[in-house]
Each structure stands twice: as C-alpha cells, then as structure tokens.
Chain A
Amino acid sequence: MSRIRFTRRLPAAVAVAGLALAVSACGGESSTSSAGTAPAAADQLKPNADLSQQTLQITVWDGYTPEELPAKVKEKLKVKDMKVALHDTNEIAMTKLTAPGDSGIDVAFVSGQYAQALNEQGLLEPIHPELIPNLANLYPEATQLSYDKGNKYSVPYTWGTTGICYRSDLVKTPPTSWNDLLKPPAWADKKVTMMTTERWLALPALKALGYSVNTDKDEEIAKAKELLLAQKPHLLGYDDVTFGDKLVSGESMMAEAWDGWCPTTDAKGNIKFAVPKEGSDLWVDTMVIMKSSKNKEAAHALINYILSPEIHSWAAENINYKVPNKAAMEQVKIAKGSLLGIKPAELLNGESIVDLGEASVKYTRLSTEVTAQS
C-alpha cells in the first residue's frame, strides 16, 4: 500500500520541486541581465603589491602571443603563475566573459568594439595608466581610437585593416573591389571564402554599397543581406580561422581576410593582399582587464610588460600583425612581401568599427540569417 502511494506521489513531487526551483531561479535572476551600467569607481590598486601572491589567467587567440610568454612573465614579473586559455573568435570570447559566475579570466584579448561592449556591461576594470608606464611607447594615433578614446578601459595590442587576400598565380585579374569577392567571376566560382564574425561578414557588402560599417539603418543592412545571400552559392565556405591555409593549399583563391592573417610571407611568394577601392575598416585587437579579476596589479604589470618593445615587436615579427607601438615597430625588420609597412596614418583612413549598443543585435541576426539560408 504505502509503496504504491509513495510512487504515485513521487513524480508529482519531483515536478513541483523542479518548477519551484526554476521559478525561484528566474525571479532571482531578472535584474542581472539589464545592460549598460556605467563603469563603477575604480578599485584602489597598490603599485607596490606583492605580485608573487598573484596568478594570471589570460584568454587570447591561438598563436597570438609568444609561446614562452608565461615563462618569461613568471621570471620577470615574479608572479606566482600564468596560464593561457585560447578562444577562436571574438564571439566565443564574449560568451566566456559574459557568462554568469566568475569567468576566472584576468586579462582578455578582444577586438575594439567588443571591449566597448564589455565596458558598457560594467565588466571591465578601468586602466590605471600610472601602473603602465610603457603606454608612452604607443603611437599618438593609438590613443585616439573611436571605440575608446584615451584608452580608458582597453590597451591596443595590434591593429590593421580588412581586405582581400588572394593567390596572384591563380586569379586572372587581381581583385580591386569588394564586388570581386561578392560577385566572383566564373573562374573564381566556389574558390572564395568569407568571414562570419558578425560585423566582418557585413563589411564587404556595406562598403560595396557605399554605407558605413557602423550603420544601424534597417534598410541598409537588408540590402547588404541581399548581396551576401546572392554571394552564398558561389562560396567555398565561411572561414574565420583557416582561410590562410586554404589559400596556401590552393583550395581557395580569394578570401576576406584581416591583413595579419593573410600569409603574404609564404615561401612561394604568390599570396597578396589588397584593400578594395571602396575602403575598409580599422580594426584594433585590445587587451582588457576584467573587473572580476583578483590579480589586477599583476594584470597591469603584464600589459606593461607586453608593451615593452622587445615583447611587443614579437607580434609584428612572428605573426605579421602591425602593433600600435612606435618603439616596437622601430625595431622590426620588415620582410619582403610583408604588410607591416603600412603607416598608422594610412591605417586611420579605415573606418573604425564601434559597438552599436542595442542595434548590434541586428548584425548578430544578419549573420545567423545568412548562414542559415540554404
């Protein structure tokens, strides 16, 4: 008897308990998701803090910092430990950093508009310039970037532009316009890759149509979407990570690419990079310190160390990204075919991508809709 009664009640009890938990959880949560809090007052940081009590956890793109960086940092800064986590795209990094709970990250590498979005959410620690004397090494232009004028919450690590990376030996005519990518000629059919990271997916179409990369007008975004959908059947695929490998192997002949990831220094020397005549962007990859970090002094020390010419020049020499560090760039020997020669003033011709607040959701949806269309 008792057994039967018990089991009859059990599913009901389980269901009620589950619902109660879910409802209470929902109620408790509703306040945290409202965005756009102003940056709170900075913590008091101690310039002479004992770094040997602090550990560092950073998140960065694969291969974007020297492999021996943790060892060097431990030796030079005397921090207890330093660990590196990897993310493959800005979006994955955002997922990590905005997840509830402690992300466990002290310093994150993200692009400028994402740093801006993180700051709007109140997740970033303001930069304490007094703890980063090496900020003086930056080009003056690098302190006037539109997503964060005066480097209040982010420090630029690399900068560059977006263009068309192509195989000069395979294309019949070198690309000069975004339309060469958007409406590939017959000889390039299914030999083209595009990036899907939301804002860079839209960039070629927006620029080809003569719009701003920061437009929030629905009709302009809709027109860009039309172009991208018409392009889709002629693509090899979407690729934000290995488009360079596909060019080297000959699987593709043209790719939308960030300049630094275009393998122009490949041994065979037939990979070239072109900025289309309609213009492009100025992107900046930045370093930010998370407000939740318990190792803020060490985080500042790390950024300061990275800004020293010998470390910062590594990025330029090894991954072919221009760094916004005058002292570092002056040390760099510029290899043949390298794109490092582009001057800061030329770079600033590009339109800087800024976060669009609520309107940035439109680009997220654009990216979903273009990839979902079959």
Chain B
Amino acid sequence: MRRARLLYVPFWGTYVFLYLPIAVLVVMSFNSGESAYTYEGFSLKWYGELARDERVLDGLVNTLIVAAGSTVIATVLGTLLAVGLARHTRSRTLDAIALMPAVLPDLVLAIGLLLFYGVIQLTLGLYSVVLAHGLFSMAFVAAVVRTRLTGSDTSLEEASRDLGAGPVQTFLRITLPQLMPGIVAGALLAFTLSLDEFVIAFFTIGNTEQTLPIVIYSMIRFGVTPEINALAAILLLVSFTAVIAGQRLTKIGERESNRTPGAPREAIKVQGEADSTDVGEKRAEN
C-alpha cells in the first residue's frame, strides 16, 4: 500500500504537467494588458482582436478546405484499399507500403513531396496540401477500416458471391454497410489529423495561402501576444467539446468494444500496434 501511494507522485505529476501550461494559456487569454506574461486584469479584447484578424480567419477557412478535401480522398481510397488488402491480396509488401505514410516521420514525407512537386513543376497551392494530407490520412483510414474488416464475418460476403454477385456488387450491398462505423471513424480521424497537421502543410503549401497551424507558427515566430492565447483557448474549447461529444457518441454507438479513446495521428499507431500484438498472441497460442 505504501508503495502504491508512492506511485501517485508521478501519476498526479503527469496530470499537473499536462494541464498546467494549458491553464496558464487560457488565463492569460483574458489579460487586459499588452503582455502575454504579466496578468493585468480581465478583458475580452484579445478575442475581439482575433475575430478581426483576417489572417487567422483565412487560415481557418483554408484549414477546413484542406481537411474536407483530404478526408474525402482518404476515406474513399483508404476504404477501397482496406478491402483490397483484406480480401484480394496476401502481399505483405503492399500491406507495409500502405501503412508507410502513417509510420514515416512527417518531415521525410514532407521533403519527398516537395521534391516530387518540384520535379513535375507543379505550382503549389492548397490542393498540393490536400493531396499530401490525403496520403497519410489514407493510411490511417485503411488501418481503422481493416481492424473492422478482420473482426467481421465473411460468411455473408461468401453467400453473396455464391449467389452470383460480382465483387463490386458484394462490396456495395454487403461489405460497405457492415464497414460503415469503421469508415465514419476513419473519416473523423482523417479530418482531425489534417486540421492539426503542420510540417507537411508547411512544406507543400503555395506561396499565397496559409493553413491555421502555419498562421499560428508564424504568429509565434513574430513574437508573443495574448491574441495567440485567445486563439488557443478557443481551439481548446472546440476540441474538448468534440472529444467529449465523440466519447458520448461512441459509447452509445458501440457498447461491445472497449477501445481506448481516440487520439490524433500518433495515437492511432497505438491502436494498430495493440491490435497487431493481439493477433500475434493469438497466433502464439495456437
């Protein structure tokens, strides 16, 4: 018991460490003074500043465009790829390649795409970021949909084929409805990953546009003002609401599975890894 109490030090330490900076950010966003460091009194003026800041608003619009576009690409291609990998091939090479965009460091992907766009003389713009985000999001969608596929019952698909339906028909009538929850989860993940993505967007975006993370990056490079805090507080509020709402929804949606709560880009790797070790253990048992 004494030992257990000792363990509570790093436990609470972790939560203080994670939340103290966030709390300070939010408090300072209500600062009436000019400085991001010294609190002088309560004011909402930095929120007003933010609402008038065209760069931030443009960045937000661009971010939403990129996230929507890349989510569509990633969801369609990722779902097809997941079905293809699970049902139509046993190639482990292809499997590995499909997962690569999620595993490679973002910087490596970013410079590879920059070089590629340069070679084909593509004028960079928002769509070059859409294509790039589509790439890594596709890997995540494919991974999420696949975990659903490996768990699903294939007898319906086989029955459909035995009754003479082609692969496309079987897919549309049988597989797709079964996969829907996985596809929606994958799409949501793709959307949020794109919203927050900085490195790849930074390298592949055109000269005349900026996404919100890039705007934030250059705001910080140009100095520290409470306006950034106000932006931070709003983003925090939005994402906290989304996570908690998502948590409620998944609870209603699928009671049977006790998955860990979702998290952006890197966290899905946890999920994938956990699943793969599951499989490994099952194999070992057999």
Contact = CB atoms under 8 A, between A and B. Distances in A.
Nearest to A14: B97
Main secondary structure of the interface of B (DSSP, over half): loop
B93 A100 contact: no
Interface string B110-141: 00000001111111110000000000000000
Interface in A105-124: 105
A86 interface: yes
A245 B89 contact: no
B206 interface: yes
Contacts of B118: 99-101
A95 to B, nearest CB: 9
B121 A6 contact: no
A100 B118 CA distance: 5
Contacts of A96: 207
A11 B91 contact: yes
A41 interface: no
B3 interface: no
A11 B89 contact: no
Contact of B221 (A29, A59, A103, A242): A242
A345 interface: no
Contacts, number: 71
Contacts of B119: 25-26, 28-29, 100
A101 B123 contact: yes
B17 interface: no
Interface residues of A, number: 31
B88 A102 contact: no
A88 B221 contact: yes
Interface string B31-58: 0000001000000000000000000000
A241 B121 CA distance: 31
Interface centre among B88, B93, B125, B224 (most CB of A within 10 A): B93
A59 B218 CA distance: 15
Contacts of B207: 57, 59, 85, 96, 103-105
B121 A7 contact: no
A192 B33 CA distance: 27
B124 A101 contact: yes
A62 interface: yes
Interface residues on B, range: 20 to 34
A76 interface: no
Contacts of B124: 99, 101
A8 B90 CA distance: 9
Interface in A269-295: none
Given A101-B123, A241-B221, A10 B208 contact: no
Interface in A1-27: 3-4, 6-8, 10-11, 14, 25-26
A144 to B, nearest CB: 32
A83 interface: yes
Interface in B262-282: none
A101 B122 CA distance: 5
Contacts of A4: 90
Contact of A83 (B117, B208, B218): B208
Contact of A86 (B97, B121, B218): B218
Contact of B89 (A6, A28, A57, A101): A6
B94 interface: yes
Contacts of A242: 221-223
Given A10-B89, A59-B207, A100-B118, 10 more contacts: A3-B89, A11-B93, A29-B119, A57-B207, A62-B222, A100-B122, A104-B123, A104-B125, A241-B222, A245-B223
6 contacts: A4-B90, A7-B90, A7-B94, A8-B91, A59-B207, A86-B218
Interface of A: 3-4, 6-8, 10-11, 14, 25-26, 28-29, 57, 59, 62, 83, 85-86, 88, 96, 99-105, 241-242, 245, 249
